[in-house]
Amino acid sequence: MDEEYSIENPAQLIEAADDFAHYPGFQNDAAAKDFLDRFPLPVIINVLQTRADLPGVENALVACLERLFKTKYGASLIPHYMPFVQVGLRADSQLVRCLACKTVTCLFETFDAKSVLPAQLVIDNDVYPLLLDCLVNGDEQVANASMAAIKMLAASREGMGVVFPAENNHAMHLANISSKCSSLGRVRVLSLIVKLFSISSTVATVINDSNLLCLLEAEIRNSNDTLVTQSVLELLYELAEIQHGTEFMSRTTIFQLLSSIISNSSMEVVLRSRAMMISGRLLCKENIYQFVDQSSVRTLIASIDGRLGLLEGEDTDECESALEALGQIGSTIQGAVLLLLSSPPAARHVIDVAFDQHGRGKQLAALHTLGNISGETRTANNIILNAEAEESLRLLIYGIASKSSKLTPSGLFLSVLRQDSRIRVAGYRMITGLVARPWCLMEICSRQEIIDIVTDTTTETTKIGMEARYDCCKAVNKAFISSNRLTSEPALAGIAAKLQEAVRRGPYLAKKNLEAQPLVKTAERF
């Protein structure tokens, strides 16, 4: 075969392959066919296998083949060269192994209904075990390429049975593969499980029934390696983002594990912070509350709140993570109610920090969190909470005000709006949510300075600032119009007119009075 597919001048092939790989335009089927007519695929593979010592040969040929197989014509040849794919997956070269993994993916991506099913080709040629070996033992690029190929296989009806064998003691069962790996290999297997979980709810059900999610729990519970634990927490963070992930995660002990990490003072700060962020991401979804045990949710919230209480007086990243997590939780109706009605209410720390100017970073985070709790991120019909939660919110804010030098909520609001632009933006968001409450509207209207700031188009100079101020102005105006009590008071007619005019002008540096200006210019001389 070497003689049959040998080439007298490999340098010519290398140069042509490099040109094809780095051609700046789109390479279509005609270009791929023209190239392969000049240099047949067996010739390219033979040079790659036998002349790897030539300068630049591997980089040029691998890049060329990768681009060839992305065309329909090039991919149509893959089924005829599966033995070479097998060899590539076993190669010592990481570049070649990566190419082989990507070739399997191309096989699925360019599948033609008239050809043999890609999954069947992979099964018949025993490619799956080789992909798993690349996952566990390859470099990072090879591992990622193999994951992509396995995901394609698992998404097919024929491949699902291969990736998820029914027998737990099967050699290719992911739990068994994981048990024989190094810590890096185990994390990669777990990463694969998360990626497979995202394919569909059907695949997620199979993963759940195979107890593969338990591998993530076990890794967190048993690992003394901070890097491994952090990597697995990142996978949980990714899993929490998957649309159908929360239902399955709620059936595990992940909530309890997160609580224990957050509450453990001996744990690394980065792990506690990440656990808080994952908790926030999980509990910011309305549907999670119908699946998860409420006591687990309360325990998790209490652990975040407890950590925030221990950090009182500190302005640290961990403090901001706790506040951000509570903000995500408070963005939902159920979450906001839990924060306000827990005993003691977790929202008390948020409100306290929101109006404390001794830590800019945590104050900024707390103001955004209070904006979420008050409903700024929720739809208009979902801003107001139940009566008990609303009363808790009112009492907490009035309680903080009475203990401060400002004495009233309006004084607190004004102090926020008089700070720098980032704090003001967070303050606008807070007021946008709170002003839907009659008591807050009364506080806003009691201070002309607040009305002046939210209606002044020159207050903000950045796009985000202008839009946040305008949204706040619209919310105040809407609440005012809806209030029968305030609209009937003649003394507030000026505020009503000012709000309506500000809303009419829009968010962006609109001039109140547009007048013709004289234009002065020097005379033109010849």
Each residue's pLDDT tens digit in the chain (526 positions)? 444 445 666 788 888 888 888 888 787 889 888 988 888 888 888 888 877 677 778 888 899 898 888 888 888 888 888 888 999 999 888 999 999 999 999 988 887 655 668 888 899 999 999 999 999 999 999 999 999 999 999 998 888 889 998 887 888 889 899 888 888 999 999 999 999 998 988 898 898 888 888 888 888 887 678 888 888 888 988 888 887 777 787 778 888 889 999 998 888 898 899 999 989 988 888 777 777 778 888 999 999 998 888 887 777 888 899 999 999 999 999 999 999 998 889 999 999 988 887 778 888 999 999 999 999 999 888 899 999 999 999 999 999 988 878 788 999 999 999 988 899 999 999 999 999 999 999 998 888 999 999 988 888 888 998 899 989 999 998 988 887 766 667 777 788 888 888 888 888 866 554 454 555 556 555 4
How much is the pLDDT for 147? 95
- Mapping DSSP to helix (H, G, I), strand (E, B) and coil, where does residue 102 land? helix
Contacts of 157 (CB under 8 A, 6+ apart): 119
Q: How far apart are CA 68 and CA 28, in angstroms?
A: 9
What pLDDT is stored for residue 486 in this prediction? 64
Query: What CA–CA distances, in Å, run from 504 to 187, 250, 341, 469, 489?
Result: 56, 47, 39, 14, 22
Domain residue spans of the chain: 253-400, 405-509
Query: Is the model's pTM score more than 0.85?
Result: no
Helix (DSSP H) and strand (DSSP E) numbers for the chain: 32, 0
User: Residue 485: its pLDDT value, please?
Assistant: 65
Burial class of residue 270, CB neighbours in 10 A (0-12, 13-18, 19+): middle
Cα(393)–Cα(46) distance, rounded to whole angstroms? 74
d(CA 162, CA 86): 17
pLDDT of residue 2: 46
pLDDT at 100: 93
Cβ proximity of 261 and 307 under 8 Å: no
Largest CA-CA distance found in the chain, in angstroms, rounded:
100
CB within 8 A of 467, min separation 6: which ones? Answer: 507
Instruction: Fill in the amino acid letter for 172.
Output: M
d(Cα 319, Cα 203) in Å, to the nearest integer? 38
Burial of 212 (0-12, 13-18, 19+ CB in 10 A): buried
Please state, in angstroms and rounded to a whole number, the distance separating the CA atoms of residues 284 and 300.
13
pLDDT computed for residue 1 by the predictor: 41
Nearest one of 295, 288, 372 to 336, comparing CA atoms? 372
Tokens of 385: 């909470």
Alpha carbon distance 490, 76 (integer Å)? 80
pLDDT score for 514? 46
Please say whether the beta carbons of 155 and 204 come within 8 A. no
In whole angstroms, what is the distance from residue 499 CA to residue 496 CA? Answer: 5
**DSSP secondary structure letter of residue 77:** T
Within 10 A of 131 (CB to CB), how many other CB atoms are there?
25
The one-character DSSP state at 331 is T
Which residues, 6+ apart, have CB-to-CB distance to 42 below 8 Å? 1, 4, 5
CATH of domain 253-400: 1.25.10.10
